[in-house]
Chains A and B, each alone.
Chain A
């Protein structure tokens, strides 16, 4: 079965330090991949998406992700964390003919 694995359930960083949220996927074809963010008591907001164009994708709020087919990875990065980045992040991919498959989420905590 196709799947998405978020390698860390919780990541803690200090404000101003880099953020790395890791995501691996299984696929037999070129997928579309996404990262969503969910702030407390809010819906999910699209951060960025990869749809087989450039492998380095830039999103909102300074986030980036790099599609690495050889590693089946789509890790999310940000050079400098801000307090407002504290949220839950979901990596997901499309499954042909059906729907998005979601990872279980990574909670990002940012300390001052």
Chain B
């Protein structure tokens, strides 16, 4: 069964900490994405990547960065965590750049910043 795996289901971090959220896919997909999900706002795109070492800003990249050193792994980095980054973070991958066939999602990481 193909998978997108997010390393942590729940995380609690302190304000100002550097936070790493990890995502790994086993489908050999080139395209990977990070979203955050907040009640009433739906899913908002943070960053995405079409290839190793490539990244593109989404709609809300401020306060975040990403790393893609290997095809299967796409990491989201909160440089200095703040309370307004408390959210559910969802990683996804797709088999084609046009996303004609949709995403496969991970199960999400619920991050609380205190």
Residues of A within 8 A of B (CB): 9, 32, 34, 36, 42-46, 49, 51, 90, 92, 94-100, 102-105
Contacts and interface: CB of A to CB of B under 8 A. Distances in A.
* Range of interface residues on B (Cβ < 8 Å): 20 to 34
Interface of B: 33, 35, 40-45, 48, 56, 58, 90, 92, 97-108
Nearest to A46: B102
Given A98-B48, A99-B58, A44 B105 contact: yes
Given A43-B106, A99-B58, A51 B101 contact: yes
Nearest to B33: A99
Interface centre among A43, A51, A90, A102 (most CB of B within 10 A): A43
B11 to A, nearest CB: 15
A102 B101 contact: no
B107 A43 contact: yes
Interface of A is mostly: loop
B43 A102 contact: yes
Given A43-B90, A98-B56, A99-B48, A32 B42 contact: no
Contact of B42 (A34, A94, A95, A102): A102
B45 A99 contact: yes
A100 B102 contact: yes
Given A44-B105, A99-B33, A99-B58, A104 B40 contact: yes
Contacts of B41: 104
A42 to B, nearest CB: 7
B79 to A, nearest CB: 22
20 contacts: A9-B40, A32-B102, A34-B102, A36-B105, A42-B107, A43-B105, A43-B108, A44-B92, A44-B103, A45-B105, A46-B103, A49-B102, A97-B98, A98-B48, A98-B56, A100-B99, A102-B42, A102-B43, A102-B44, A104-B42
